[in-house]
Structure 1
């Protein structure tokens, strides 16, 4: 079998296709990363060359091959209590404002996207349990979503490396995790508190199902998007939020540079972005 290669034109065609489907833009510096995974899939599907594989990918009505590629091409690196100051802001400032404006007893809904392997969503649960006394009085629903189906399966399993839990206080590690060999299994109490789902923020059909949230965590995802995709994601979050709801972005991200839909709010712990309340 001849050696499989990816030409400059092949890379450009694939990059444009993948961007249209996911909003993720690969820079030229990612050529080796992308080429390696494309060649792997060409070999696994017996496509023989990029042209045959790309034809199959474009006309695969099931979407299974694209999902496999998404799982291979997306980066999932996080850890528990990452950017902890935003969790502090959640329990000290945001939730109090949210419940003051609730006109009924509907649950407080929190959306974590991308879910990665679940560390962020489970960190939210731990922070609520440990630092928000009003949790006894309110029902809280936590949805965590990702475009990568393999990482969602990993999140539902709740098994983590020592690196993932390295920033957790010792008492919380002991309270909520069980050591299994060199890994840590999260407690069933936390596993049952999060619903993990698949979503593509660039697919209007996907995001239409996500509505009535009070708080969204979307940290370090928009850095992988270009300006057009960022605006599309911002609009999806705006539609998903209740009036007065909040978005927490990563420390290097700013909604004001993306969209004018949100109001910047400065709290003692963090700067967040708020959907304007209806008068």
Structure 2
């Protein structure tokens, strides 16, 4: 359905019971859990989607949502995801990647073999592009391996923005002027677009962390960056996401979480690995049990 279609000009009343039904629906689809304290956040986005679809009430909109008419679920999920990030976020993990993790990973690979890195969620692209930039700037062996970087997100709007690779000053604030000058070009409105070669070197795909069937297409990653998304899940969704991520790693592979997240509190599947720059989590070389 056309997002520009207007609905009723009258305010839409959404009851607490309806919000609860909606949150249960969103939770089953995405694993995202919203408490009553987020009521304003929920109401504002629900009202926007009700208006965009021309629905006259919550009940009419919810009926449309359950049938997924005009891919409304995709539009809804896009409106509820948070895509706040910037280049070189949590830089200590990038340092850990090139100073420690990759040495362990490539010790079991022949030169010229494939090294697979996954950024999920990748948001609007800053995360996977940061990985690529950091590798080129800080890893002397970068040309000795076939490096595949995949960026995935549940938000299709974010993925389109990532493929375009256009960023403003805030996204670039952690990058030196030298790096910006070598890897970005100026575009309209004072923004910068990342180099075409870098844009084409990363594969962007849609993925849902709690959809086991969806996640089955992603396998044999050496390193996964999954940062600052599990904080939006409840315990059950975190465990399911952890199990899916475990299956996506090759034995011996590593996963990096956000600074406020701990795999030790989520799942016993991973081993804690402490390096000088960061604590990360490893899928054992030989699965336990």
TM-score range normalised by the length of the shorter chain: over 0.9
Distance 2:255 2:27 in 1: 24
Q: Is the 8 A contact 2:111 2:145 kept in 1?
A: no
Please tell me the root mean square deviation across aligned C-alpha atoms, in Å. Answer: 1.5
1:97 aligns with 2:104: yes
Q: CA separation of 1:105/1:236 partners in 2, compared to 1, >3 Å: closer, same or farther?
A: farther
Shift of 1:105: 5.5
Q: For residues 238-262 of structure 1, give each alpha carbon's deviation from its aligned partner in whole angstroms, at most 9, with x where no partner exists.
A: 0000000000011111000000000
Shift of 1:61: 6.6
Shift of 1:135: 1.4
The residue that corresponds to 1:46 in the other structure is 54
Distance 1:53 1:201 in 2: 26
The partner residue of 1:25 within 33, 48, 57 is 33
Q: Which runs of 5+ in 1 are unaligned?
A: none
Shift of 1:44: 2.1
1:277 aligns with 2:285: yes
Distance 2:111 2:165 in 1: 33
The residue that corresponds to 1:135 in the other structure is 142
The partner residue of 2:235 within 221, 227, 236 is 227
1:119 aligns with 2:119: no
Q: Which runs of 5+ in 2 are unaligned?
A: 1-7
Distance 2:45 2:69 in 1: 21
The residue that corresponds to 2:152 in the other structure is 145
Q: Is the 8 A contact 2:264 2:270 kept in 1?
A: yes
Residues matched between the structures, number: 278
Matches within 5 A, 1:59-70: 59-60=67-68, 64-70=71-77
Matches within 5 A, 1:1-40: 1=8, 2-40=10-48
The 3-state SS of whatever aligns with 1:192 is: helix
Distance 1:3 1:122 in 2: 42
After superposing the two structures, state which structure 1 stretch, 172-181 or 73-82, moved more.
172-181
Shift of 1:179: 2.0
The 3-state SS of whatever aligns with 2:173 is: coil
The partner residue of 1:243 within 251, 263, 275 is 251
The partner residue of 1:205 within 206, 213, 235 is 213
Shift of 1:168: 0.5
Q: For residues 188-239 of structure 1, give each alpha carbon's deviation from its aligned partner in whole angstroms, at most 9, with x where no partner exists.
A: 1211121110001111121010001000001111111111111111101100
The residue that corresponds to 1:264 in the other structure is 272
Shift of 1:3: 2.9
Q: For residues 18-63 of structure 1, give each alpha carbon's deviation from its aligned partner in whole angstroms, at most 9, with x where no partner exists.
A: 001000011212111211221222222222111111112112276x
Distance 1:40 1:5 in 2: 13
Distance 1:20 1:191 in 2: 33
The residue that corresponds to 1:196 in the other structure is 204
The partner residue of 1:187 within 191, 195, 198 is 195
The residue that corresponds to 2:3 in the other structure is none
The partner residue of 2:181 within 167, 174, 185 is 174
Distance 2:216 2:46 in 1: 31
